[in-house]
Amino acid sequence: MPLTKDTIGVGFIGAGDISILHAAAVKKCPGAKLVGLWNRNQDRAQERAAQFGCKNYASPELLVNDPEIDAVFVLTNLETHLEYTAAALGAGKHVLVEKPVGVSVAEIERMKALADAKGLVCLPGHNYVYEASMVRTRELVEGGDLGRIVSAYVMYNIHHPEEVAKRYPGVVRQILTHHSYILLYLVGKPVELCAMKATLHYKEYPEEDIAMVQMRLANGALAHFCASFAADDHAADPWTVMVKVIGTAGSTRYSYRDHVEIKPGLVHSQTYTAYQGSITNEVRHFLVDCLRMGAKPLSTLDDAITAQKMIEAAEKSIAEKSVVRL
Ligand SMILES: NC(=O)c1ccc[n+]([C@@H]2O[C@H](COP(=O)([O-])OP(=O)(O)OC[C@H]3O[C@@H](n4cnc5c(N)ncnc54)[C@H](O)[C@@H]3O)[C@@H](O)[C@H]2O)c1
């Protein structure tokens, strides 16, 4: 049932770095308001509630049961996504859950079952697909305008200090999840893949800071992913974040470098404006297109399940040094 209230109330569970981007996005969204947040650490909770001009709830239960709140954004660490998503859906609230959505396929399937049972929207935080250039690429692929697709590339090279990386899983889960849902959205699911990873700049953190994946798509085309926290790419035409789809009749390109501000951006050495832009678009799609207009999300929990299967296949390939079929 589309929401008809004048103002859609939003609540944040988790007030870490990514909440800053989501708060800016809600502020820009017509007919929506950030009502309040809950964060495990109270110092951070008070600081962010003052910064965002919203309430600070004493518990996640109080937040999800507040009648003023219609949609809950789950912005905590990966391991707690299911717990807070289930609590919000249980209280009858729509949910936007950050990526990676769950620790396992079973966790994401559980979220889908809970959302479906209540007729609620549970939107995975697949922010990149809400960029206009991604939508246009998909239209060109679907319309056959690029001819036969021969290759697709998703490249990510953004240095992250080790103390920041330690808050996340390695880049296979943290970054290749983005790559996986982007590929699914643009050209579809791979049929087989092989992957490698390495740790090149972390001193103590045992996870990988670079990973690459080679894939074969259903039509026989090949695709490649690179995800690196190990170094920025300072070369001319850098592959900071670059997405390319190449076909026999044309090709497309998306780059973070189209809009760069020379100032640090959260944990990045420069501000890549498209990062905030993609979250702003995602939040507007969720609150306005999905909740108000009843549109189907561009990327769904089914895509999150397939993306998680791709991540688990990459982990299996790395562990076994093998090619894994999907
Ligand atoms: N879409 C994107 O491009 C993007 C970018 C960065 C992060 N993320 C995702 O957003 C989420 C948060 O990342 P972040 O960068 O804000 O991290 P962060 O470390 O800055 O914040 C994490 C938050 O989770 C809370 N938390 C940690 N353990 C908890 C627990 N056991 N119970 C309750 N709360 C707990 C912390 O208090 C903190 O507020 C992660 O899922 C991450 O993968 C997405």
Question: Is 48 exposed, middle or buried (CB count within 10 Å of its CB: 0-12, 13-18, 19+)?
Answer: buried
Both tokens of 267, joined, read: 């944990």
Confirm or reject: Cβ of 125 under 6 Å from ligand 1: yes
Give me the pLDDT at residue 2, please: 85
Give the distance (Å) from ligand 1 centre to CA of residue 302: 22
Q: What residues does CATH 3.30.360.10 cover in the chain?
A: 131-274+308-325
Angle between helix 17-28 and helix 273-284 axes, rounded to 10 deg? 60
Confirm or reject: Cβ of 276 under 6 Å from ligand 1: no
Confirm or reject: Cβ of 282 under 6 Å from ligand 1: no
Phi, psi angle pair for 312, to nearest 5°: -65, -35
Q: What b/e readout covers 306-317, taking b as 16+ CB neighbours within 10 angstroms? A: bbbebbbbbbeb
Residue of the CA atom closest to atom 39 of ligand 1: 16
Only one residue has tokens 């561009």, namely: 298
Strand partners, 228: 157, 210
Give the distance (Å) from ligand 1 centre to CA of residue 40: 11
Task: Indicate the helix (H) or strand (E) that contains 281.
Answer: helix 273-284
Confirm or reject: Cβ of 124 under 6 Å from ligand 1: no
Q: Which CATH class is domain 131-274+308-325?
A: alpha beta
Give me the pLDDT at residue 12, please: 99
Give the distance (Å) from ligand 1 centre to CA of residue 25: 17
Residue of the CA atom closest to atom 25 of ligand 1: 76
Only one residue has tokens 């239209």, namely: 139
Q: For strand 55-56 and strand 32-38, is the pairing parallel, antiparallel, or unpaired? A: parallel
Task: From 56, 64, 75, 283, give the residue whose CB has the most ligand 1 atoms within 8 Å, as the site to mutate.
Answer: 75
Only one residue has tokens 């998680």, namely: 308
Pairwise CA distance, residues 37 & 59, whole Å = 9
Neighbours of 167 (CB within 10 A): 12
Cβ contacts of residue 47 below 8 Å, gap of 6+?
Answer: none
Q: How many residues does the chain have?
A: 326
Q: What residues does CATH 3.40.50.720 cover in the chain?
A: 8-124
Q: Which CATH class is domain 8-124?
A: alpha beta
Confirm or reject: Cβ of 75 under 6 Å from ligand 1: yes
pLDDT averaged per 10 residues, the chain (length 326)? 92 98 98 98 97 98 98 98 98 98 98 98 98 98 98 98 95 98 98 98 96 97 98 96 98 97 93 97 98 97 98 98 98
Please give the number of the atom of ligand 1 that sits closest to the Cα of 279.
1
Give me the pLDDT at residue 40, please: 97
